[in-house]
Structure 1
Amino acid sequence: MLRELSIENLAVIEKASIAFDDKLNVFTGETGAGKSILIGGINAILGGRVSKDIVRAGTEKAVVTGLFDDLPESVRTKLSDNGFAVDDELLLQRDIHADGKSTARINGRATTVAILRDIASELIDIHGQHDNRLLMDGDNQREILDSYGKNSGLLSEYATAFKEFSALSRKIKEVSRKKTESLEKAELLRERLEELDRYNFSADEEETVKQKIEELRNAEYISENLYNAQTAISGDDDTDGAYSMLEHCKYSVSSLSNTIPELDKLAERISDMLVELEDIREEIVQRIPDEDEDTAGMLGVLEERLSVILRLQRKYGTDLAQILENSEKWRNELYEIDNGDDIIEELTEKKKEAGEKVKRLATVLTNRRKKAADDLAKRISAELTFLDMPDIRLVFDISQDKVTLSGMDKVEMLISVNKGEDLKPMSKIASGGELSRIMLAVKNVLAETDKLHTMIFDEIDTGISGRAAAKVGLKLHEAAENRQILCVTHLAQIAAMADTQLLIKKTSDEKRTYTGITKLDFEGRKREIARIISGDENDPISLENAEMLLLRKNVI
């Protein structure tokens, strides 16, 4: 859970450090004081999108740091998989620079925002005001059902099968298209391949041929110099070579070994030189061109190959290595044109098998969704009954739809909020206040399933008041017994239910505006809740009502 949040130079927040309770933490304050900035800071350390506009004017960067403990096992596994040390605490940091760049750190070590986002995804679930509208979308309703039914593994298996089926379908269309292409295309490919196959080029042939041509063109010069070098070592009829002279040297030195024993080592060194000199001579002899070799004929053959290589490069606009690589693609393309019927038959059989697998998995997925739907609807309805919606009727309507990456089901949440009314799509009849409570109910039920450690509600109180607000406060307090909850609210009934209440307050001097964050004691909470009730923190009646709300919370 989020144990501590530190912020520097984030919009109107110059510097703040906030310690959180492990139960219900509530943020209150005047509209515009900076509560949304605080949520934005938390979103930043979770890898969310950030803008340079949130950097405090006149500073180089904003820094947000979050300290987490009681880490889920899934997070510990991801840390280990990405090469991070796994400790009891986790420090996430995000630096947002005034030039628009941002950097991320995990336990002080630089990382990518993508890795930060992946690891942080299972630490906190943030619910903002706009998320209520997402509840109306059919895809999101299906995802809620799949989350409750723990269908992620099955969905992954199904998606793999569906992608394989789709890939086979595309391949069949591609081969069919190529099969119907004109014979001219096939003939063109054959001409290209026949030309390349005739010469059997290698990828580095151009350089090899050029080097050999250069040698042949200078064969006489090369032969003369290599012969002279060999003669210098071996000698001829009139002159001793280096080898013979070195042998005499060795003999002379060796003859003195009895008189000067130290010369034995010198004689050994001369012997080593003789061996090396012989090796050099042998290599020179091997490189002397064969006088019987048809130099002119070989030169002609090689020059023809080089001419073909250069022509091909001009023709295809690339080097020989790339041409040869392309030739494999041409070969496969020609094969598909020539053998289209056999390939299509084979692919069709594979597609049939893949389709049967997709249908089987989709049916299993449908059955699991139907099984989870009744139980989830009952649990959400029970939550909503407590949240002052006693006449709620809610069902997940599952009907067969076209087969897609997510299955073959159309999922729609249908509700009736008043007695005697028919079930209708939620998008048609739910009010803002009802949506807020439905989302809270959904989040609460899913949190029990997913075992989320921390949840954030940014103004879950939209559209509610009175008894409904009190019920929402009670539900948040109850939910916080098993997980940490952070909540931004404008309602006294919800603020009074907090275990920790934090006041977000904006002040200003002649030059700048500042936002401070203060943890309130009992008296501070009374004044703040009185302000929420009447707008006057010193109003006696409002203070009395605020105290009553706080004391009532303490006896729950």
Structure 2
Amino acid sequence: MLLQLDIHNVALIDGISIELGEGFNVLTGETGAGKSIIIDSINAVLGDRVSREIIRTGAQSALIEAVFRVDADRIRDIMNEMGMEPEEDGTLILSREISQSGRNTCRINGKMVSAAFMKAIGERLIDMHGQHDNQSLLKTEHHIELLDSFAGESLRSAKDEYSALLGQYREVWAKLRALSGDPGERERKMDLLKFQADEIRKARLKASEDEELGRQKTLLLNAEKISNTLAAVYDLLFAGSGGSSALDAMNESLSRFSSVAGLDESYGEMYRRLQDLVYQLEDLAGDVRQSLESAEYDPAVLEEIEERLDLIYRLKRKYGSSIPEILEFCQEAEKQLEELEKSEETAKALSEELAVLENRLYEAACRLSAERVKAASLLENKISRQLEDLEMKKAKFSVDIRFDTAPPGPSGRKYGSNGLDKVEFLISPNVGEPLKPLARIASGGEMSRVMLAVKTILAEVDRIPVLIFDEIDTGISGKAAQKVGEKLSYISRGHQVLCVTHQAQIACIADHNYLIEKMVEEGKTRTKVTKLDESDKTKEIARLIGGETTEASLKYAEEMIRAAKKAQTA
């Protein structure tokens, strides 16, 4: 539901705020008062293309803001695409600012979005109907959705069955297509996978092998330094060339300490500790001597290690940054190779499975089409009766369903999400005229009534919450106009309806009436909108009846309003 519309600095409007109500809202006013400005503003805030020429003279920018209350689930998916969540209370605020510099700023709940995204949201909120608008009913691709919605549960069940089979069919088709590529390309891929797997297997890689080889390489490169260091340390600890060694000094200290060790427990403790150090030093000196004797530099071993590390490095560059990743790559290559080697057998099995699925899918598409044909007949009768009510007694409405009968093959049976049907609504407004697409109806009045008839029948299944009819009554009057009003009132029971009209027969049925006026103040022309109370509504209906408000027109207006209320409660 559209709760509020604020427009600032658009054409003749310097600033207005319109609070709209539930049900049937009607906007009336003299020609040129600014009704089209309001409709253009709504289109702009819904993401339509707009020129900066709409900015009021003297202003730097125009701002339009629309406040909606919506079912959050209806827009959750599209909001999530932008990383947004609907408000818990269903409030949705769309705003658009158009500046003289040409910059357009679109926001949804305060967050900047593109005009395309705002348009996508807008299509779920408002359906616009007028003489020149690109209504949803004029888009042929929507007709099949509307027919399916009208058909109800029986068709929905057939469509669910078809959709499940279509998913299986497409999955098998994708697998078969992947296997049935260019044979030469498949052979080249097999050769490459075989080479890659062989190269990795021949390397006989071991986990953490590169780390161990790196450690060994470091030791070999520093062999001379290690040998010299070990020799010097051993000499200082044990050999003592040119003097006493550290071990000699420790033994001398131990000998001297033995003379006092028995005098006091503390000295005995020190003696034992020193004795432990001597033993440890002897063990250390033995380890150093053993390492010195085994230390050697072998250029052949170093060369072998470097070649091995170079092989691992090359494999890492091609297959992964670590040995586990290289081994994982090898496993995947072997798996793909095995699948390709079995591809002929697999392709044959998939082809057989696809043929079975194709037959089942075709049968499901036929059942779905049959349900549509039944629903189409019912829809044609209902809409024809509505057209008769709208004084189009000779009009003929038809639902054209074309089933794709092409045989299966590369260019046949293009299964879509809606089956093999193409659906289009056709109309013949007058006797002797052929059925034509809705978009080719010449008369604006006929177009308006056809749209209204279709909307009346589809009102319960049409999920768009707000419907706007911009001068849909053009070209009609009298009894036809009254019927239009009744249909709009009926639709407003399940939708919010906003209608711009010049017909008293329509305005008198409204739940909420608004008067649009053009005024001159301080040398400037501006448009204002006033919500009418019952008294002002009567005066406006009287003006619509005769152009001037007279006692007779006021009395007739009161009678029309009473009759409308009586008809609504009947």
Q: How has the CA–CA distance of structure 1 residues 410 and 204 changed in structure 2, closer, same or farther, with 3 Å as cutoff?
A: farther
Match of 1:147 among 121, 146, 149: 149
Q: How has the CA–CA distance of structure 1 residues 385 and 198 changed in structure 2, closer, same or farther, with 3 Å as cutoff?
A: same
Once superposed, what is the RMSD of the aligned Cα atoms? 5.2
Cα deviation for residue 169 of structure 1 reads 2.7
**Does the Cα contact within 8 Å between 2:445 and 2:472 map onto a contact in 1?**
no
Q: Which residue of 2 aligns with 1:94?
A: 95
What amino acid sits opposite 1:174 in the alignment? A
Q: How has the CA–CA distance of structure 1 residues 33 and 297 changed in structure 2, closer, same or farther, with 3 Å as cutoff?
A: farther
What are the residue-to-residue correspondences of 1:103-502 with 2, within 5 Å? 103-105=107-109, 124-130=126-132, 135=137, 138-150=140-152, 155=159, 158-159=162-163, 161-181=165-185, 183-184=187-188, 186-199=190-203, 213-214=217-218, 217-218=221-222, 221=225, 237=247, 291=294, 299-308=302-311, 320=321, 334-335=337-338, 337-401=340-404, 402-405=413-416, 406-418=418-430, 431-450=443-462, 453-502=465-514
**Does the Cα contact within 8 Å between 2:76 and 2:85 map onto a contact in 1?**
no
Q: How has the CA–CA distance of structure 1 residues 86 and 43 changed in structure 2, closer, same or farther, with 3 Å as cutoff?
A: farther
What amino acid sits opposite 1:148 in the alignment? F
Q: For residues 203 and 8 of structure 1, what CA distance do their matches in structure 2 show?
A: 71
Partner of 2:180, secondary structure, is: helix
What amino acid sits opposite 2:21 in the alignment? D
Q: How has the CA–CA distance of structure 1 residues 490 and 540 changed in structure 2, closer, same or farther, with 3 Å as cutoff?
A: closer
**Does the Cα contact within 8 Å between 1:433 and 1:461 map onto a contact in 2?**
yes
Q: For residues 356 and 559 of structure 2, what CA distance do their matches in structure 1 show?
A: 67
Q: For residues 200 and 526 of structure 1, what CA distance do their matches in structure 2 show?
A: 96
What amino acid sits opposite 2:147 in the alignment? L
Q: How has the CA–CA distance of structure 1 residues 448 and 185 changed in structure 2, closer, same or farther, with 3 Å as cutoff?
A: closer
Q: How has the CA–CA distance of structure 1 residues 474 and 355 changed in structure 2, closer, same or farther, with 3 Å as cutoff?
A: same
Deviations 1:47-92 (A, max 9, x none): x456584676745673514153xx65845988999755633x6242
Cα deviation for residue 175 of structure 1 reads 1.9
Q: For residues 8 and 231 of structure 1, what CA distance do their matches in structure 2 show?
A: 97
Cα deviation for residue 348 of structure 1 reads 1.6
Q: For residues 525 and 248 of structure 2, what CA distance do their matches in structure 1 show?
A: 105
**Further displaced range: 76-85 or 142-151:** 76-85
What amino acid sits opposite 2:375 in the alignment? A
Match of 2:530 among 515, 518, 522: 518
Cα deviation for residue 341 of structure 1 reads 0.7
Q: How has the CA–CA distance of structure 1 residues 205 and 9 changed in structure 2, closer, same or farther, with 3 Å as cutoff?
A: farther
**Further displaced range: 143-152 or 155-164:** 155-164
Q: For residues 290 and 34 of structure 1, what CA distance do their matches in structure 2 show?
A: 106
Cα deviation for residue 379 of structure 1 reads 2.0
Q: For residues 11 and 332 of structure 2, what CA distance do their matches in structure 1 show?
A: 56
Q: For residues 129 and 232 of structure 1, what CA distance do their matches in structure 2 show?
A: 108
Cα deviation for residue 388 of structure 1 reads 1.0
Q: Please identify the structure whose Cα radius of gyration is greater.
A: 2
Cα deviation for residue 333 of structure 1 reads 5.7
Q: How has the CA–CA distance of structure 1 residues 61 and 289 changed in structure 2, closer, same or farther, with 3 Å as cutoff?
A: farther
**Does the Cα contact within 8 Å between 1:453 and 1:483 map onto a contact in 2?**
yes
What amino acid sits opposite 2:395 in the alignment? I
Q: How has the CA–CA distance of structure 1 residues 451 and 407 changed in structure 2, closer, same or farther, with 3 Å as cutoff?
A: closer
Unaligned runs of 5+ in 2: 238-244, 255-264, 267-283, 405-412, 565-570
What amino acid sits opposite 1:551 in the alignment? E
Cα deviation for residue 378 of structure 1 reads 2.2
Q: For residues 182 and 497 of structure 2, what CA distance do their matches in structure 1 show?
A: 60
% same residue: 35
Cα deviation for residue 145 of structure 1 reads 0.4
Cα deviation for residue 431 of structure 1 reads 3.9
Partner of 1:449, secondary structure, is: coil
Whether 2:559 is the aligned partner of 1:551: answer yes
**Further displaced range: 419-428 or 407-416:** 419-428
**Does the Cα contact within 8 Å between 1:2 and 1:66 map onto a contact in 2?**
yes
TM-score when scaled to structure 1?
Answer: 0.70
Q: How has the CA–CA distance of structure 1 residues 312 and 503 changed in structure 2, closer, same or farther, with 3 Å as cutoff?
A: farther
Partner of 2:5, secondary structure, is: strand
Cα deviation for residue 177 of structure 1 reads 2.1
**Does the Cα contact within 8 Å between 1:179 and 1:340 map onto a contact in 2?**
no
Cα deviation for residue 396 of structure 1 reads 2.3
Partner of 1:390, secondary structure, is: coil
What amino acid sits opposite 1:485 in the alignment? V
Q: For residues 537 and 372 of structure 2, what CA distance do their matches in structure 1 show?
A: 45
Q: How has the CA–CA distance of structure 1 residues 97 and 330 changed in structure 2, closer, same or farther, with 3 Å as cutoff?
A: farther
Partner of 1:404, secondary structure, is: coil
Q: Which residue of 1 aligns with 2:259?
A: none
Q: For residues 160 and 294 of structure 2, what CA distance do their matches in structure 1 show?
A: 72
What amino acid sits opposite 1:15 in the alignment? G
Q: For residues 25 and 549 of structure 2, what CA distance do their matches in structure 1 show?
A: 26
Deviations 1:141-188 (A, max 9, x none): 222201212456764664454354235334423322243447455434
Cα deviation for residue 445 of structure 1 reads 1.7
Cα deviation for residue 499 of structure 1 reads 2.7
Unaligned runs of 5+ in 1: 245-254, 257-280
Deviations 1:255-298 (A, max 9, x none): 99xxxxxxxxxxxxxxxxxxxxxxxx9xx99xx99957987566
Partner of 2:452, secondary structure, is: helix
Q: For residues 309 and 512 of structure 1, what CA distance do their matches in structure 2 show?
A: 84
Q: How has the CA–CA distance of structure 1 residues 380 and 222 changed in structure 2, closer, same or farther, with 3 Å as cutoff?
A: farther
Cα deviation for residue 486 of structure 1 reads 0.8
Deviations 1:93-134 (A, max 9, x none): 4354643342221xx788999998888766544435455676
TM-score when scaled to structure 2?
Answer: 0.68
Q: Which residue of 2 aligns with 1:266?
A: none
Q: For residues 227 and 14 of structure 1, what CA distance do their matches in structure 2 show?
A: 98
